[in-house]
Structure 1
Amino acid sequence: METRGRDDREPPRRFFLECDGEKLGCAMFAPAGPPVAATAVVLHGAGTSDKERMIPLMGDLAAHGHRAVACDFSGHGESSGELGALSLERRFAQARALVDRWAPASDELVLVGFSMSGQTVADLAAHYGPRVRAVGLCAPAVYARGAWPVPFGAGSGFTEIIRTPGSWRSSAALDVFRGFTARAVLAVPALDEVIPAEVTEAVAAALSERSDFTPLVLSEADHWLGRWFRDRPGGRGRFVRALLGR
């Protein structure tokens, strides 16, 4: 089984970004290879996830000439705020603030999202349009339109919305993916015990309509692909090569 390899790269620059009433912990790698005028934005999932799992993947993208940035969404990692007060809408606002502050306006964008951030990648792709040259979706989730502004906390109604059978079919993310025309990589574990197979199939079908689409099945992985990529340089390499068309 593949294990974590040695990494002698310089550590990322760490900083805080004030936005959306919060102070977000962030990390950034400058391009380590010949720069390609593109910024990779790497977004973690829900629960206990944070940007730290993304650091090795960010380093790999930087090695291919990309500026690579990530943040802890509010209520996660080093960031302020309560997780229950976060929402899909606020995730979009925070990710957009990260892009607008740290991705040069002349750069194209490579958007990578894990689990819940599959929805956030779609929201960013809709916002930035043709500036987005590639998306990488890692065991992605998509959510009902009605869930987008609702806080995650107990009693808000978010859980009830997303547990309604088939509610995800109304997701605006699927419309975005159907219209996406650049490179798209869908990385999924062979068995995902969190994301229903029908959701993954719908995302794949949507991306197949117009994008330069690559499905990537990771036979030994579980749903937690951020952690899986962190510990497996070879698996990360497969994903990065597919994402960058190399």
Structure 2
Amino acid sequence: MIRVGLVAGLLVAAAWPLSEALRRPMDARARAGAPGQIADLPGGRTHLIWQGPPEGPVAVVLHGLTTGSYILDGVAAGLAGRGYRVLRYDLYGRGYSDRPRGRQDRAFFLRQLEAVLDSQRLGGELTLVGYSMGGAILTAFAADHPARVRRLVLLAPAGLGQTPPGLADLVARLPGLGDWVMAVIGGGVLRRMTQRVGRARGLPAGLIAAQIAETRFRGFLPAVLSSLRHVLARDLAAEHRALAETGVPVLAIWAGRDEAISAQARDRLAVLNPAAGHLLLPEASHALPVTHVSEIVAAIPPAGS
């Protein structure tokens, strides 16, 4: 019985690294046909996409926790149509970007963002549009570099209160066990949730398939888990106060039926930065950059204004 228990224990323990090893690597073959370009940055290869008129003012549009930049296709196209030169990139661990190890905390993502800007020689004022976790990252950047920011637009932003699903909250709080659960069953849970929620919201089949595909690549699940434990565990009250003091224009667009962002986040931002503008889309869910593209694009001032 002891020997059987030992073998069973070893098999359970091996399931964690084995599950990750069996997933596809993000390599040249996986990147074949990727739109845009791949930039070799100090932290790893990063997938970039440019859209819009070359002479337009630059807008950096950044995605969230569990997708690549493709979730913002509609918003990026809309802004390009309004005269912006739009830059999107995939955060490490997502899309076509590399999967470097390490804590995915505030500093981790700001290093990637600053490396992207340096690689593209972007030193002037920027319009920043961040969705969910992307909103938290761009808020931190704007607080650190207010002189480089023309406007900050936040789409259902993280950083002022999240309401993660039960599994996400569980794995984030349990080191070791949480890593095992995420590696062994996290992919399946995310795939089922993506299918269920995507169909309920009427999201495009291609978007659902792309998000499901993310879970089959090596490094994606550890990246999501590390982000939950680090950058998404950070409260950004200090950053929003700093933005209020420096006068950076802020517009926050909220979803009335958001299942991922706390309903109190909007009230907190109003207190922290009384000058910030707010737009509530009452019928929108957390998928608002897919389902409410026209309202989002119309709320952002056109290029040159």
TM-score normalized with structure 1 length: 0.73
Aligned to 1:195: 261
**1:187/1:58 CA distance change after superposition, 3 Å:** same
Query: SS in structure 2 opposite 1:197?
Result: coil
Quote how far apart the aligned CAs of 1:121 are: 1.1
Preserved CA contact (<8 Å) 2:151 2:249: yes
| Counterparts of 1:70 and 1:19, CA distance in 2 | 15
**1:16/1:41 CA distance change after superposition, 3 Å:** same
Query: Is 2:240 aligned against 1:174?
Result: yes
**1:141/1:187 CA distance change after superposition, 3 Å:** same
**1:20/1:228 CA distance change after superposition, 3 Å:** farther
Preserved CA contact (<8 Å) 1:134 1:244: no
Query: SS in structure 1 opposite 2:119?
Result: helix
Matches within 5 A, 1:1-246: 14-31=36-53, 35-36=55-56, 38-47=57-66, 49-81=67-99, 85-102=103-120, 104-105=122-123, 107-142=124-159, 155=175, 168=235, 171-208=237-274, 211=275, 213-229=276-292, 232=293, 234-241=294-301
**1:120/1:158 CA distance change after superposition, 3 Å:** closer
Query: SS in structure 1 opposite 2:151?
Result: strand
What is the CA deviation profile of residues 43-87 of structure 1, one whole-angstrom value per residue up to 9, with x for unaligned ones?
Answer: 10102x211122222222222332210111111011110687533
Aligned to 1:148: none
| Counterparts of 1:90 and 1:97, CA distance in 2 | 11
User: Which structure has the highest strand share of the two?
Assistant: 1
Identity %: 23
Unpaired runs of at least 5, structure 1: 1-11, 145-151
How many residue pairs align between the two structures?
213
Q: How much is the aligned-residue C-alpha RMSD, in angstroms?
A: 3.3
Preserved CA contact (<8 Å) 1:44 1:226: no
| Counterparts of 1:116 and 1:227, CA distance in 2 | 16
Unpaired runs of at least 5, structure 2: 1-33, 162-171, 177-225
Quote how far apart the aligned CAs of 1:201 are: 1.6
| Counterparts of 1:30 and 1:119, CA distance in 2 | 25
Preserved CA contact (<8 Å) 2:146 2:243: no
TM-score normalized with structure 2 length: 0.60
| Counterparts of 2:59 and 2:232, CA distance in 1 | 32
| Counterparts of 1:161 and 1:60, CA distance in 2 | 32
Query: Residue type matched to 2:300 in 1?
Result: V
Q: Which has the larger radius of gyration?
A: 2
User: Which structure has the highest helix share of the two?
Assistant: 2
Which has the higher mean CA deviation after the structures are superposed, 76-85 or 23-32?
Answer: 76-85
Larger relative contact order (CA 8 Å, sep ≥ 6): 2
| Counterparts of 1:154 and 1:18, CA distance in 2 | 34
Query: SS in structure 2 opposite 1:104?
Result: coil
